[in-house]
Amino acid sequence: MIHHPELVPTGSHAVQPWWKNAVLYQIYPRSFQDTNGDGIGDLEGILHRLDYLSELGVDIVWISPIYRSPQADNGYDISDYQDIDPLFGDLDAFDALVARAHALGMRIVMDLVVNHTSIEHPWFVESASSVDSERRDWYYWRDPRPGFEPGTPGAEPTNWESFFGGPAWEYDASTGQYYLHLFAREQPDLNWENPQVRDAVYEMMNWWLDRGVDGFRVDAIDVISKLPGLPDGGLPRPPFGVGHECFADGPRLHEFLQEMHERTFDHHPGSFTVGEASNASPETALLFCDPERREFNMLIQFEHVNLGLENGKFSPRRLAPGELADVLTRWQDTLGTRGWNALYLENHDQPRSVSRFGDPSRYWYESATALATAYFLQRGTPFIYQGQEIGMLGGDFTAAADFRDVESVSYMKRLGIDEVPEGLAAMSRDNGRTPMQWDSSPAAGFSEAVPWIDVPASAEHINVAVQAEDPQSVLSYYRALISARHVVPALTDGTFSRIDASAPALFVYRRSTPGSDVLVMVNLSGQHHAPLFSPEDEAVASLPWRLYLGNTDRSQTTTDEVGDQMRCEPTVTTPMKPWEARVYLLAD
């Protein structure tokens, strides 16, 4: 690793709004740190590790759901929006966590799930009690399809498929109707057409914001508006199932989101807001994150993480050279200076980026740091998922019993076999949910008990303790990236320009603003490539660039004017090794 911290400014670059200069860290609480010995992470564990996050340079901590929940989908099935699940602690523990984070200069963002609730939420319990319930239309209830026996295959009101596979409708024999669940059957969809539902959601959001929460990441928000009449869907569009076009980006979606902003975030200036939209394109994303529309600060989109899944999520193909970079570039170019990107490669729903996009067997360190460089310095707010900063790999899944995720468990049940398909082992959401690897102890420092999900064998050599004091580690490399994000003006304010370096695998781009310029060069492949700049980009390559950061310790041997050999660092035109990354700053 080559690192020249003396080249960057010493003070933080001030900017408004504040989140444009921030780095976000996502915590999956059940896998972060266990302190009470039950093998499941908790709020006290997060509190215990806040100093680690502060030292890393984190500004925002996004916590996946900790609300009271039956845990059918690990907390994304909420039974009480205004309480903490005892699994994680209580409201006092949460308040202490928020207070400590604020004292360290960090903000707390909660994960909010309002497309659906748990079947155990009082709203749904009352809704399901009778067809005449006052809350019946708080959810989607429909009669069986005419001509079919209720509760039998084909009797579902529509042909829609759940995100987790199988029909999106569940039959309730007690009332003779089906309810809609776009996710698991334990997660019935709220009816956002009902203004009482929206009122209740906004009231709850304001309650948390008044309590000191700094904002929300809003889950699956692009499916809250369904097509009127709930028609049958057409052919599936992998990785999405049948009916996706009937409930993604529905006709009243942006009306609802603008109302949400007006009723909640407008009353809490400075709130951090990010929506999750599985169907978004760069063009439609501007409807969510153009500040003039007053919906969200930014958007979590899926296009780059869905690459190669045309045959289904669990049948991934190898990506072509440049395919990932081209999608990232399209998002940068289209959002431009109007929108703002949520920059990410990993989260709780995705496999580890080194395993998904890199080469963990031959170039683990190089591909972990190259991928980090590629996404982290683009225009937008970078998100780090717990363990990504140390290059964590996925789980070791060889049997059906190894899985915990409802999607993976359901998939194995439908297959009716115990042998795990290669695609499922690679793409299961459980890959991102194994315990945080703090050290090389049996439970990786996560717990003194048996963890709720197995610790990967890789934890023995990939962990925080091994990397914390190693200046050549993945963790040290992330620290250097974070430092640059905070102090280099071009990385906040600068435009994004893709540079043609001839080889598709070379992702080269420039971030530029008056007085500050950065050139990022990444080889996203396992082959050597020499940068060959196009005539229009030769002028950029010839500028006096100085190397700030590189993920190799390689230097060149050259001969000076008197014939003496000397060592120097790679220049912009130096051939790039497999998965090599370099970050240059323009000399004054």
Residues 6+ apart with CB under 8 A from 132: none
Which residue stretches of 269-359 are H helix?
Answer: 282-289, 323-335, 353-357
Our answer to whether residue 219 is catalytic in this structure is: yes
Our answer to whether residue 580 is catalytic in this structure is: no
Considering the candidates 276, 366, 454, 517, report the single residue annotated as catalytic. Answer: 276
546 forms bridges with which residues in the sheet? 585
Q: Hey, how many other C-beta atoms are within 10 angstroms of the C-beta on 312? A: 15
Residue with tokens 């929206």: 198
**Which DSSP letter does residue 576 get?**
B
Which residue stretches of 82-161 are H helix?
Answer: 91-103, 122-127
Three-state secondary-structure class, residue 273 = strand
Would you report the helix, strand and coil content of the chain in percent, each value rounded to 5? 30, 20, 50
Q: How far apart are CA 518 and CA 582, in angstroms?
A: 10
Q: Which two tokens stand for residue 60?
A: 């925002």
- Nearest CA-CA partner of 73 in 224, 210, 188: 188
Q: Which residues of 140-191 form beta strands (DSSP E)?
A: 141-142, 169-172, 177-180
How large is the greatest C-alpha to C-alpha distance in the chain, in angstroms?
Answer: 95
Sign of the torsion angle spanned by Cα atoms 450, 474, 61, 112: negative
Q: Hey, how many other C-beta atoms are within 10 angstroms of the C-beta on 169? A: 26
Angle, CA of 290, 296 and 297, to the nearest 5°: 75
Query: Strand pairing of 516-523 and 506-513?
Result: antiparallel
Cα within 13 Å of Cα(214), Cβ side: 20
**Whether 387 contacts 463, CB under 8 Å:** no
**Whether 434 contacts 395, CB under 8 Å:** yes
Q: Which two tokens stand for residue 532?
A: 């060959």
Q: Counting every residue, how long is the chain?
A: 588
Q: How far apart are CA 116 and CA 243, in angstroms?
A: 17
Sign of the torsion angle spanned by Cα atoms 178, 166, 185, 199: negative
**Whether 312 contacts 397, CB under 8 Å:** no
The Cα-based distances of 56 to 110, 389, 548 in angstroms read 20, 9, 19
Considering the candidates 186, 214, 219, 454, report the single residue annotated as catalytic. Answer: 219
Burial label for 228, CB within 10 Å (0-12, 13-18, 19+), is exposed
**Which residues have a catalytic role annotated?**
219, 276
